Amino acid sequence: MIAGSFIAQLRSCTKHEQAHITTMMKRRNTRHRAFDPEPDAPDRCCDMHGCDQPAGYRAPRSRDALNSYFWFCLQHVREYNANWDFYRGMSPGQIEAHIRADTSWNRPSWKLGQGNAAHAFSEEEVLDPLDLLKGAAKARARNRARQQQAEDRRAEAPQALKYPLGVLDLGWPVSMEELKARYKDLARQHHPDANGGDRKAEERFKGINIAYATVRAHLVTTAGRDGMARSA
């Protein structure tokens, strides 16, 4: 009865409404799996020389042509992505400059605590007979000590990871679990929704996302190489 009622209602719709309903039903019933080929993939073979498999997956040709793509089969797009290094050929200084520019949307920036604003408030100038500020001062001291320890540990990190690790306030080496936990903490603090849609919070959150993605990609790639080495 339900199916018959639905068909009767569908027949009473205009042709345009019927077409829209049919399209939405098809979309709802379509299952998108993680490794399904892209729907707009060209009808041709994989771009890898000698491969005759269908090309269902795209990958950027270079960092200077991110909107121009190779089209590979699943096996070869995995190999290509595993060896992809956006910063290949760049000096450590160029890498850091590029990450800094992306973090601030290519806008000029400066370190916190510089200029007159750095001296706008001093605890020594405030009367605090109940020592209410001492707890906060001790917490800041512990935080500075932790930051210094993380900075010392970053000295052994790959050059391309030193700035992203600094954004996340993490040392090196770092595990995937530590990275995810730190990202969740920072996301709670700096997500725009938690800061009333503040524009600066949005920019900080974007920088955190870029840093997290950079470190995570390195850990995933390294884990993949280690796994292949152990299985060899």
What pLDDT score does 229 carry? Answer: 43
Positions of the chain with pLDDT under 70: 1-35, 102-139, 143, 146, 150, 224-232
Q: First vs last Cα of the chain: how many Å apart?
A: 61
List C-alpha distances in Å: 91 to 65, 80, 84, 134, 203. 19, 22, 17, 45, 26
Q: What are the boundaries of each domain within the chain?
A: 37-84, 95-104+132-231
pTM: 0.40
Q: Which tokens belong to 102?
A: 């992306």
Integer Cα distance of 60 and 84 in angstroms: 9
Query: What is the pLDDT, as a whole number, of residue 225?
Result: 63
Distances in Å between the alpha carbon of 209 and those of 104, 130, 167, 202?
12, 41, 10, 11
| Domain boundaries 95-104+132-231, corresponding CATH code | 1.10.287
* Number of neighbours of residue 106 by Cβ within 10 angstroms: 9
Question: Which token pair is 115?
Answer: 């200029």
